[in-house]
Amino acid sequence: DAGVTQSPTHLIKTRGQQVTLRCSPKSGHDTVSWYQQALGQGPQFIFQYYEEEERQRGNFPDRFSGHQFPNYSSELNVNALLLGDSALYLCASSSGTAIGYTFGSGTRLTVV
Amino acid sequence: QKEVEQNSGPLSVPEGAIASLNCTYSDRGSQSFFWYRQYSGKSPELIMSIYSNGDKEDGRFTAQLNKASQYVSLLIRDSQPSDSATYLCAVIGGGTSYGKLTFGQGTILTVHP
């Protein structure tokens, strides 16, 4: 039973560039949430996708955008990268309104 | 005031001792509470969930919830060196916060032999 899969695992980008991170949810899950975790901090909620729509959004600028595909997989896009965007980006999946989140192993983004 | 606040760490306990981790939250409408364990460089792993006032035990772990005091705690009995990790308290708030996990900043626990 495949868990949540994220790609890539590590990424180095230059300030001003754009990045796309990908997430495949756990089998049977249809909801995907994205979190940003800076070093030494707890994860911060970016947004959540359900039925290909953004259902909730955290306090992140419009540079952060996402998408969910019909197969429930999701992408997180970040434009105009800043040094402060360097973090571990976590994807968590769940099933509809059920409460039970499974986290992927994350993508470590470094902006130089 | 932070939405979810954890007791300041790091916390160091000897092997075999009880480790006590505390968390307070600001949204009185919160209904769901979680403790995650995160090893260095890894993703969070759910170890306990609690939804009702009182205690919930699972092996060496006990979660305690007091909604009136807006307080959640995690006790780890017979602590082992393998329990050394960052422990994250997470809450799902009420109303439109449904489905959104709000995390505390984490408490680093070290269990020394």
Contact map slice: B 38-67 vs A, CB within 8 A? 42-46, 49
- Residues in chain A within 8 Å Cβ distance of B90: 42
Chain B residues whose CB is inside 8 A of the A102 CB are: 46
Which residues in chain A touch residue B104, judged by CB atoms under 8 angstroms apart? 42
- Minimum Cα–Cα distance from A55: chain B residue: B99
Q: Is A11 exposed, middle or buried (0-12, 13-18, 19+ CB in 10 A)?
A: middle
**For A75-87, what is each residue's pLDDT tens digit?**
999 999 999 999 9
Of B88, B96, B100, which has the smallest distance from its Cβ to A42's Cβ?
B88
Q: What is the largest CA-CA distance in chain B?
A: 45
Among A23, A31, A34, A21, which residue's Cα sits nearest to residue A81?
A21
- B95 inside 8 A of chain A by CB: no
Q: Chain B residues with CB inside 8 Å of A88's CB?
A: 43
How does pLDDT run across B24-75, given as a tens digit for each residue? 999 998 989 999 999 998 999 999 999 999 999 999 999 999 999 999 999 9
CB of B103 closer than 8 Å to CB of B89? yes
Q: Which region among A24-38, B38-52, B85-99 has the lowest average model confidence (pLDDT)?
A: B85-99
